[in-house]
Every structure is written in C-alpha cells, then in structure tokens.
Amino acid sequence: MNFSSKLLENAVAEFSKLPGVGQKTALRLVLHLLNQEKDEVERFGSAIVKLRNEILFCKVCNNISDQHTCEICTSHKRDRSTICIVEDTRDVMAIENTNQFNGVYHVLGGLISPMDGIGPADLEIDSLLTRIAPGEVKEVIFALSATMEGDTTIFYLNKRLKDFNINISTIARGIAFGGELEYVDEITLGRSIATRVPYENSLSR
C-alpha cells in the first residue's frame, strides 16, 4: 500500500500484527481511531499498555488477576479439593459462565504442541504438581480442547498424576445440545455411541 504518512503506515503495521487482522482491516481500525477524540485514543493506548505492565498471574492457579491470588482461589465458597485444568483464562471465563463448577482452576498457559515448539516445561505443570502434593486434592478434571494438542497434554499429565491418589476425569465429549445428528462429524458421532451413558445419567440437572 501507498501510505501518505509514515505515522499512519506505522500504526497500520502495528495493528496488522494482531491475529486475524490484515492490512485493510488494520487501516480501517486505525482510521476509525483517528476520527475519535484525542483522550479517547489516549485511553485506548494506555488501557493495553497498563494491562501488560500491571497484570498479575494468580500464584496459586496462574489465572490472570489484579491481585497476587485471584478471587476464585481466595473465595471460601469454592471447593479446593477439585481442580479443573484449562488452557487459558478464556476457558476459566467460559466455565464460570455455566455456573456448573464450584471447584478451583489451574491455568496451564497453553497446550503441549511439538509442532509449535511448546513442551511440558513451557506450561504451568510443576506448580500443578506442587498444589496436588499435600494430598488435599481429590479430583482433577481436564477441560482441554478436543484436539491433538489437548489430547497430548491430557496423556502427559495423566502419566504425571497417576502416582497421586486422585480421581482423574475429562469433560464429556459428544454431540452438542441442540445439535442435529446429520451435521455431526463421523468421529464425534462414532465416539458418542461408543461412550454412551445410561439414560438417567444423561438428564441435565
């Protein structure tokens, strides 16, 4: 593109680095911000810089937090004997929105992915084992994506956890509620038949 201004070109280049944002979209976003009031743009710029500089990660569960220990980990209403293992903070938010889980979380900060050069040492696995070691944890639930990376991570962690006396489970996989059978992929459908559950257990509470 032929930019009439270096400042504009620079701002567009920065926006283009965001995932899923091409040069045309970046230009649209930048021109939108250019039309806003100066203090509005100042607020936008400082919000992200402030977040990056001041954000903390809960020293218990590694979730994004404003404090050294997050609200979930400090809450007296949560069941500390059940740990749900997730990839990142988005998964914590998604599960919290369901109101179906009253335990605590452990955020791995990624999944094992040899293709991307991410190994167990890059994830928050040691801190998980440290949490489990005292023996108060009774159950660990894997709530990871049903992908190659998710399965690899579960396989690895399952091996590391088998010496502890805890129940290990994964969230149920199968057809989605409201999903029409003819549109479900073969693997999901096949597995959902193989792992069928007694009717009484399938009723949502």
> What is the rounded CA–CA span in Å between residue 153 and residue 202?
27
| Residue 10 contacts its own copies per CB under 8 A | yes
At closest approach, how far in Å is the CB of 19 from its own copies? 5
Residue of 83, 86, 92, 112 that binds its own copies (CB under 8 A): 92
| Residue 71 contacts its own copies per CB under 8 A | yes
| Residue 102 contacts its own copies per CB under 8 A | no
CA distances in angstroms from 45 to 7, 28, 50, 65, listed in the order given: 15, 17, 9, 20
- Which 131-190 positions form the footprint of its own copies (CB under 8 A)? none
8 Å CB contact between 86 and 95: yes
Residue found by looking up tokens 């209403």 in the block: 77
At closest approach, how far in Å is the CB of 40 from its own copies? 8
Size of the site for its own copies (CB under 8 A): 59
Q: Which helix (H) or strand (E) holds 94?
A: helix 89-98
- The crossing angle, in degrees rounded to 10, of helices 38-54 and 23-34 is 120
CA distances in angstroms from 143 to 40, 159, 181, listed in the order given: 39, 17, 24
At closest approach, how far in Å is the CB of 190 from its own copies? 30
| Residue 31 contacts its own copies per CB under 8 A | yes
Closest CB to its own copies among residues 8, 168 = 8
DSSP 8-state assignment for residue 148: H
Residue of 74, 81, 93, 167 that binds its own copies (CB under 8 A): 93
Residue of 22, 42, 68, 171 that binds its own copies (CB under 8 A): 42
At closest approach, how far in Å is the CB of 162 from its own copies? 30
Ramachandran area for residue 20 (φ above 0: left; ψ -120 to 50: alpha; else beta): left
Q: Which residues bind its own copies (CB under 8 A)?
A: 1-8, 10-11, 13-15, 17-21, 25, 27-34, 36, 38, 41-55, 58, 63-66, 70-72, 88-90, 92-93, 96-97
